[in-house]
Amino acid sequence: MGEAAIQIGPERPSAFLDRVKEMLPEGGNLDLCLTCGACASGCPATGLHGMDPRKFLRMAALGLDEEITTTPWVWMCSMCQRCVYVCPMKIDIPALVYQARAAWPREERPKGILGSCDMALRNESGSAMGASPEDFTFVVEDVAEEVRENQPGFEDLQAPVDKQGAYFFLNQNSREPVTEPDEMIPLWKILHHVGADWTYGSKGWGGENYCMFLADDESWKHVVATSIGQAHALGCKVYLNTE
């Protein structure tokens, strides 16, 4: 069975399209679309809820505000940018998806992403799991000590937290120190082998930013500012984002 056709009624003003044109260069480049389908062919969300990037883009260009700002498909998009990478005209479809997400009432956005964003705002860790700076520091120190004691060749391994003047500031998937702390060790070993000068921050160490995926600009900014602020406070030169 083929896809349902896009239903086009009388021409109507598009608040969504106007907002996109104000935000993106060249009005989001919507008129440059060749309808080649390259975006849809590589998109992992193609076919979910009867939608794909090309169809979504055409609906936006046609001013179908209600359809594109209410379809659950926008929450299937991983914002991976693959569609932009393969697009011969470099149309920024994820930016359109982001604006469509932002049109949803916050309390109606997916509970998993919403809960993770709100959890990251509860303390200065930025952790979607809610682990505090003190808990994170304890886990890192405990796991590093266990490695030094039980793994030959790594007697000098360090996993510093808040090391002043370190060159690299490293963040961390917030699930690992809470549920699978041993998963942090392989990266520590790599950094140890190459002699990297690095540190975690006790603040802003949470690597993923669910507030970005929630399309909550203010919360996204808060999480990023906390992490970058700690990197600056420690005098780090390079920010390593593991996520």
Residue 90 lies in a domain: yes
Whether 208 is covered by a domain: the verdict is yes
Boundary (domain end) residue, out of 104, 131, 153: 104
Q: Are 202 and 242 within 8 A, CB to CB?
A: no
Range of the domain at 231: 111-240
Identify whether residues 216 and 117 lie together within a single domain. Answer: yes
pLDDT tens for 33-78 read: 888 999 999 899 999 999 999 999 888 888 888 888 899 999 999 9
Q: Which two tokens stand for residue 44?
A: 């992992």
Whether 7 is covered by a domain: the verdict is no
**Whether the predicted pLDDT of 143 surpasses 70:** yes
Regarding whether 124 and 100 lie in a shared domain, the answer is no
Residues 234 and 134 in one domain: yes
Q: What is the predicted pLDDT for the residue at 209?
A: 92
47 shares its domain with 116: no
What global pTM score does this model have? 0.82
Give mean pLDDT, residues 2-21. 58
More confident residue, 19 or 197: 197
Q: Which residues contact 33 (CB under 8 A, 6 or more apart)?
A: 54, 57, 58, 61, 89, 91
Answer with the residue of higher pLDDT: 230 or 24.
230
**Amino acid (1-letter code) at residue 83:** C
Give per-residue pLDDT as tens, 149-188: 999 999 999 999 999 999 999 999 999 999 999 999 999 9
pLDDT band at 27 (very low <50, low <70, confident <90, very high): very low
In DSSP terms, 168 is beta-bridged to 198, 238
Specify the pLDDT at position 76. Answer: 94
Q: Is 62 helix (H, G, I), strand (E, B) or coil?
A: coil
Q: Which among 140, 139, 144, 195 is positioned nearest to 166, based on CA atoms?
A: 195
Judged by DSSP in three states, 172 sits in strand
Length of the chain: 243
How many domains, in total, are found in the chain? 2
Mean pLDDT of all residues in 87-96: 87
- Indicate whether 77 and 131 sit together in one domain: no
Strand order in the sheet with 198-200: 198-200, 168-170, 238-240
The pLDDT, as a whole number, for residue 1 is: 41
122 inside domain? yes
Question: What pLDDT does 178 receive?
Answer: 95
- Cβ neighbour number for residue 149 with a 10 Å cutoff: 9
Give the rounded distance of the alpha carbon of 187 from its chain centre: 21
In a domain, 1, yes or no: no
Provide the 10 A C-beta neighbour count for residue 8. Answer: 11
> Are residues 65 and 166 both part of a single domain?
no
Q: Is residue 192 part of a domain?
A: yes
30 pLDDT higher than 90: no
CATH code for position 50: 1.10.1060.10
- Quote the CA–CA distance of 157 and 127 in Å, as a whole number: 25
Higher pLDDT, 7 or 235: 235
- Considering only CA atoms, which of 34, 214, 235, 11 is closest in space to residue 113? 214
Q: How far apart are CA 171 and CA 174, in angstroms?
A: 9
Mark whether 83 and 115 lie in a shared domain: no
* Selected residue with higher pLDDT from 139 and 66: 139
pLDDT band at 29 (very low <50, low <70, confident <90, very high): low
Which of 104, 130, 145 terminates a domain? The answer is 104
Task: Tell me what pLDDT residue 59 has.
Answer: 87
pLDDT of residue 101: 94
Considering the domain boundaries, does residue 190 fall inside one? yes
> In this structure, are 30 and 47 located in the same domain?
yes
In terms of domains, do 85 and 127 share one? no
Percent of the chain clearing pLDDT 90 (strictly above): 73
Phi, psi of 156 (to 5 degrees): -105, 10
Q: How confident is the model at residue 28 (pLDDT cuts 50, 70, 90)?
A: low
What is the maximum alpha-carbon separation in the chain?
A: 73
- The verdict on 214 and 129 lying in the same domain is yes
Q: Note whether 155 and 223 are same-domain residues.
A: yes
Give the pLDDT score at 237.
97
Q: Are 99 and 186 part of one and the same domain?
A: no
The three-state secondary structure class of 139 is: helix
Q: What are the distances in angstroms from CA 20 to CA 58, 94, 99, 224?
A: 14, 12, 8, 24
The residue from 104, 138, 173 where one domain ends is 104
Q: Is residue 98 part of a domain?
A: yes
* Residues ≥6 apart with Cβ < 8 Å to 97: 56, 74, 77, 79
